[in-house]
Structure 1
């Protein structure tokens, strides 16, 4: 009989005494630590070897492992192995769920039970072998898995085992079939008679797969018609539905927004006499941040005021639930999908000039060198003095004018903050944003780089300073904080970047000595060189992705110890949480952060990180499709381009004029035996060499590329290179048409 302490619970059996000359059995905690440190599954042999156990101690070890499995400290792995809970085996069946920003597949393990095993791990799949179709969402494969971080794995396809049936199919209806809008989905769907839902050829449709799979195409029933391909807003419609972005607000959320009224001045500071101004893009539809500055001795006094969204969107309301689900607004060339209904996003939470608005503000004081001396947060009522555009502010500054009476002070404070940023040494990737110009009918007039002005940087510096103050204030108050975190690049990505930079005779310091200023130095070295854009893009891809979470690890790219988003609650849920935490901590009202919200911060951080990435992918897809629509009118023309990717199945090129990218199939190159040259650059995928022709194609190489295919439905483009092709007579224009 086991001894029972008071209360009746059984005591654990006494630890077996080791025989003379035997090592003692490990404790449960020692064994837990060993399993957590092991990269994959571990067998009893490895455990016994690590702890120096004899064969006579195997039965006792078996009982110890059984106890760990019962209390959840270990889980079976393979036939006889064990691993720490939440650990994936070396081989598993996984299902592709989407893609990362680089277009590589992301997957999840089948059969994972979050309530038992913890948070769902993320699997980043390696690109498929040459000749293999890319993995598409819903596809299932047996994959070899390698841990690359907490809850993260790298997967390599071993065998394709089929596809999970997608819940919906998005495509273009054409006489009895549906052509998918996702370029990774090559298989078309058949629409049986009577199942087309009234759709007409050329319409964008949503369909549901039907049971059964006869010979030929899989059957599907059309359940929703979304408009005609080529009409205004058709491209953004495709992207909204392809990425599952919520578009229609629940009726109760709309009613709550429409019941909103202006804030009362009582209980708030009055900033209406301070000439705060908003500075945004020409096409901005909402204005949620305003700025003002004045000299303060040898330094500067700066105020950043932000729309008081927390006053209107209270915890647990229908508006709050919908804003949480959306996570952030999504911006397309022709529309915005906001997190708040229009009555708030373009109404009471938009800082329109001459109209009183509620706000949260931070007042900051900086010395002449841009070092912050103090800050103070408050809740106020304000009235914007002017709605300015970046172009207006830049033009006034260039002309030495100050029509509002505050621009000189704003630029003076900005110069001080920029000096502090330069001393700090941040990573400033100056990749031009592409602007899509549309006419009233939604047709593409042009795609061009959006100008990057000092006025953009001015607002960015003020917003960064305010965000740092928010994180510092919440730490001072002991309040939960939804940090904006950015980890240093992984060792794996750094190694790939080092090998890439070796091609340009550029070196990086060891990982433990790496600082953002090292990347800035790399960018300085290539400034003005032909490979400048390619290096910028490659350095960007080597960085970790920023995320949201309650645990602070700092922001590597900005070289900041703490950082939180405070400046845009009208379009980011994270900022709304920071506002609520400040309201609670500073006792600025009864609508502050609630304990139940704070308890969900880890899950909320993961959720809004994913919605942000979903939005970025949808926005990127839209620009690619608009580009393809624009370029479809220029089939046959030849463009100046650079090689931006080298694979065994072909090349990727990016046009110098507008950033359009596409594939150059290997079959379109001159007939030759093409091999990847590893000797010169030390890494696969940097050069293709033809053994017979002597032609070489290198990453970053300037080329002439002829457009042969552009598909707005998918955003895909196909080019052929002119190198190695016999010269033809051509028009002398910059973009020449070839027959």
Structure 2
């Protein structure tokens, strides 16, 4: 029998070898074959694998085994430092801190190869695509991966961002705003080192020297923009996350030269009454839908659905300037005050926007569904279409809910079949049982000056769900078609929760009297059962939050392990190539696989798909972080003049340092230091998501309703600090762990342990 280390090393090697392939499986059968395990020994192997899984050393994705927490075979990473031996260390460029500390990667450099090719060797501060392999037996704090640079990306120095405050006679000071650097304190800028910066400008700086006395000296490297109103606050997120937001001249020239596409290689769908349904403030419209009764007597009560998507591939040539720009950006980024598009407006808001009564090229899915909503067949077509109407979600819902008038009769003839088909799809969705979390999303509305006017929770309408179900069905059809054609592409995948997170969830649910039956195969329906049991109870919000935190993060990959949240075996992003590069890759793959024209995915691109998947996954996480931080800063600015005011909210997190609170209404996140919770020593109970008083047993737990007073607001850091006034929910009973314990000595806990910096206060 192989040892545990042998099995883990084998899984890691095989995953690395399969990194560039769309299909690949490593399960018990493959391990048995590799180590020549036969007969009764397979039972012992099964027990060994089960032990490794229960310990969290490996995880099971469907029937495939993966080493727990394994990075993708190729990851976008930053070269961070050198170790004591002079070897380079790297870390993933974007990492969800909820997963714990980012893993360290030890880089191996092939000196001969670099000298022969003339390629520069990586150095701290570089960003690169790195092929990684787990290091077995790594000690805590040591690198857990070995890595080899696949591609060194253009060098971009790390920026320390701040606000320049001018002094009389020249020079001034820098007030850092980057959350990672705010603890440095202010920096001094000497006369002549301020460059073109004016008072109140956002700047990036270079630190010249630090000493034991006085402020560190710095020099302004670049003036990034004026921050004289809230409308410019998203500049901070753009620059701190290095999000490209100015199109290169060659990309703009290529976009302006583009002309409307012809009918070549296209079917004529202009007579079909497709329509777009989007948010009221949408500037581009890249998807259109249509439904009609299926006349086929073999499909009684069934429907023919059409989902037409703007044909971006017709205008963005592989390897061209627009393609390079879109690949680097990865996706569009949406802030309350601006949108940073993946493609220039000439493409996204003009040539590829499905405007009413204008001819537009599209790549379309034609889907046949039965009366119960399950898909019978599908096909993809390259078409020329003409949208019959443009509706907002609210308009569509209002029309379908109201009695039709003469003016809307023709529109209703298009809308009614759509909603009938949605009813059938909803039946299939309910039977499939995707994860059904109830966590409303808030939207920040700004006034003309860019200040926060209101924070609203838009209603969730059937029109939203209709478009969502149509898009999911088209995405599934795209993945199925490409698999059937054995065409390499990029999947949208969502792994099932790790064993460690499931065990933590089960322990938490047990603390509130709920049992979680994990079973042999984990399914989203098991979580839905728990959510259904707490619906309408005091624990509903709490359990929804904890179940959300149990889930893995969705990503892009060439290796398919399904979409756990949607409960789908195969899934791809097909429906928005204007704002996601992954969708453009899928479009090109379909064009190539189905011979729909000359602008399909180049065959040479198959080798790059793993690299592209890693890069756009990191870009997606980068965009999410930037959007979240900008919202935090805007709301902190909105509340800055309400110091001393009281608010109602809920505890949204707990750590050894204190409690995180989310306010009702605005959804603002803030922090209560543990030192301000009362005359007790509060210890963190991770399983219960709570702080518990060691002497009193008083418990402050995730989801509890609280009344707080705003003590401090730091808009540029997006941070709020609160004081707890009272809990509106009944206090939790004293924990068993607190009974009989002596009061912990407060002297053991220093200020740095109980009072985190302002920069950390608004983050979980």
Q: TM-score, structure 1 length as denominator?
A: 0.78
- 8 A Cα contact 1:94 1:107, kept in partner: no
> 1:144 matched to which residue of 2?
141
- Offset, 1:495: 1.7
- Offset, 1:476: 1.5
> 2:208 matched to which residue of 1?
210
For residues 511 and 193 of structure 1, the distance between their equivalents in structure 2, rounded to whole angstroms, comes to: 68
- 8 A Cα contact 2:276 2:389, kept in partner: yes
For residues 227 and 474 of structure 1, the distance between their equivalents in structure 2, rounded to whole angstroms, comes to: 46
For residues 279 and 108 of structure 1, the distance between their equivalents in structure 2, rounded to whole angstroms, comes to: 43
Mapping of residues 152-551 of structure 1, within 5 Å: 167-175=158-166, 176-185=172-181, 186-188=183-185, 189-210=187-208, 213=211, 215-296=213-294, 297-401=300-404, 403=409, 404=411, 405-510=413-518, 512-551=520-559
Q: Deviations over 1:428-459 (max 9, x none)?
A: 22322211101111111011223221111110
Worse-superposed segment, 210-219 or 555-564: 210-219
- 8 A Cα contact 1:526 1:532, kept in partner: yes
- Offset, 1:606: 0.7
- Offset, 1:150: 12
- 8 A Cα contact 1:93 1:109, kept in partner: no
For residues 130 and 222 of structure 2, the distance between their equivalents in structure 1, rounded to whole angstroms, comes to: 37
- 8 A Cα contact 2:688 2:701, kept in partner: no
Question: What secondary structure, in the 3-state scheme, does the structure 2 residue paired with 1:227 have?
Answer: strand
C-alpha distance 439-604 of structure 1, shift in aligned 2 (>3 A)? same
For residues 684 and 519 of structure 1, the distance between their equivalents in structure 2, rounded to whole angstroms, comes to: 18
- Offset, 1:471: 0.5
For residues 212 and 470 of structure 1, the distance between their equivalents in structure 2, rounded to whole angstroms, comes to: 57
- 595, 600, 622: which is aligned to 1:592? 600
Worse-superposed segment, 344-353 or 394-403: 394-403
Q: Does 1:691 align with 2:695?
A: yes
For residues 440 and 455 of structure 2, the distance between their equivalents in structure 1, rounded to whole angstroms, comes to: 12
For residues 709 and 497 of structure 2, the distance between their equivalents in structure 1, rounded to whole angstroms, comes to: 36
- Offset, 1:193: 2.8
For residues 188 and 660 of structure 2, the distance between their equivalents in structure 1, rounded to whole angstroms, comes to: 32
For residues 501 and 570 of structure 1, the distance between their equivalents in structure 2, rounded to whole angstroms, comes to: 42
C-alpha distance 563-675 of structure 1, shift in aligned 2 (>3 A)? closer
- 8 A Cα contact 2:89 2:107, kept in partner: no
For residues 392 and 249 of structure 1, the distance between their equivalents in structure 2, rounded to whole angstroms, comes to: 35
Greater relative contact order, per chain length (Cα 8 Å cut-off, separation 6+): 2
Question: What secondary structure, in the 3-state scheme, does the structure 2 residue paired with 1:487 have?
Answer: coil
- 8 A Cα contact 1:96 1:106, kept in partner: no
- 8 A Cα contact 1:566 1:576, kept in partner: yes
For residues 289 and 449 of structure 1, the distance between their equivalents in structure 2, rounded to whole angstroms, comes to: 24
Question: What secondary structure, in the 3-state scheme, does the structure 1 residue paired with 2:716 have?
Answer: coil
Q: Does 1:654 align with 2:653?
A: no
- Offset, 1:373: 1.0
Q: Deviations over 1:469-511 (max 9, x none)?
A: 0011111212112111111111112122222222322222226
- Offset, 1:423: 0.4
Q: Deviations over 1:646-699 (max 9, x none)?
A: 2222211111222211100122222333344x5xxx83642322626x644233
- 8 A Cα contact 1:98 1:106, kept in partner: no
- Offset, 1:209: 2.6
Q: Identify unmatched segments of 5+ residues in structure 1.
A: 1-25, 41-50, 52-84, 124-141, 152-164, 726-739
For residues 228 and 173 of structure 2, the distance between their equivalents in structure 1, rounded to whole angstroms, comes to: 19
- Residues matched between the structures, number: 617
> 2:116 matched to which residue of 1?
none
- 8 A Cα contact 1:487 1:545, kept in partner: yes
Q: Does 1:113 align with 2:111?
A: no
Worse-superposed segment, 346-355 or 190-199: 190-199
For residues 210 and 615 of structure 2, the distance between their equivalents in structure 1, rounded to whole angstroms, comes to: 35
Question: What secondary structure, in the 3-state scheme, does the structure 1 residue paired with 2:356 have?
Answer: coil
- 8 A Cα contact 2:288 2:309, kept in partner: yes
- 8 A Cα contact 2:292 2:305, kept in partner: yes
For residues 723 and 584 of structure 1, the distance between their equivalents in structure 2, rounded to whole angstroms, comes to: 63
State the superposition RMSD in angstroms: 3.3
> 1:45 matched to which residue of 2?
none
Q: Which has the larger radius of gyration?
A: 1
C-alpha distance 527-719 of structure 1, shift in aligned 2 (>3 A)? same
For residues 395 and 328 of structure 2, the distance between their equivalents in structure 1, rounded to whole angstroms, comes to: 36
C-alpha distance 98-266 of structure 1, shift in aligned 2 (>3 A)? closer
> 1:36 matched to which residue of 2?
9
C-alpha distance 95-171 of structure 1, shift in aligned 2 (>3 A)? farther
For residues 389 and 432 of structure 2, the distance between their equivalents in structure 1, rounded to whole angstroms, comes to: 33
Q: TM-score, structure 2 length as denominator?
A: 0.75
C-alpha distance 99-635 of structure 1, shift in aligned 2 (>3 A)? farther
For residues 130 and 279 of structure 2, the distance between their equivalents in structure 1, rounded to whole angstroms, comes to: 43
- 8 A Cα contact 2:511 2:688, kept in partner: no
For residues 146 and 291 of structure 2, the distance between their equivalents in structure 1, rounded to whole angstroms, comes to: 44
- Offset, 1:229: 2.7
- Offset, 1:108: 5.4
C-alpha distance 166-340 of structure 1, shift in aligned 2 (>3 A)? closer
For residues 636 and 32 of structure 1, the distance between their equivalents in structure 2, rounded to whole angstroms, comes to: 58
Mapping of residues 29-68 of structure 1, within 5 Å: 33=6, 36=9
> 2:643 matched to which residue of 1?
635
Question: What secondary structure, in the 3-state scheme, does the structure 2 residue paired with 1:464 have?
Answer: helix
For residues 31 and 503 of structure 1, the distance between their equivalents in structure 2, rounded to whole angstroms, comes to: 34
- 8 A Cα contact 1:446 1:630, kept in partner: no
Mapping of residues 651-690 of structure 1, within 5 Å: 651-676=659-684, 683=687, 685-689=689-693
- Offset, 1:635: 2.1
Question: What secondary structure, in the 3-state scheme, does the structure 2 residue paired with 1:520 have?
Answer: helix
For residues 158 and 425 of structure 2, the distance between their equivalents in structure 1, rounded to whole angstroms, comes to: 50
- 8 A Cα contact 1:474 1:585, kept in partner: yes
Q: Deviations over 1:129-179 (max 9, x none)?
A: xxxxxxxxxxxxx962596x999xxxxxxxxxxxxx973111112243222
Question: What secondary structure, in the 3-state scheme, does the structure 2 residue paired with 1:717 have?
Answer: strand
- Offset, 1:93: 9.2
Worse-superposed segment, 196-205 or 444-453: 196-205
Q: Does 1:620 align with 2:628?
A: yes
Q: Identify unmatched segments of 5+ residues in structure 2.
A: 14-34, 36-72, 75-82, 112-128, 148-155, 167-171, 295-299, 729-764
Runs of 4+ in 1 over 4 A off after TM superposition: 29-35, 37-40, 91-99, 101-106, 114-118, 120-123, 211-214
Worse-superposed segment, 181-190 or 405-414: 181-190
For residues 8 and 263 of structure 2, the distance between their equivalents in structure 1, rounded to whole angstroms, comes to: 60
For residues 543 and 723 of structure 2, the distance between their equivalents in structure 1, rounded to whole angstroms, comes to: 24
- 8 A Cα contact 2:633 2:715, kept in partner: yes
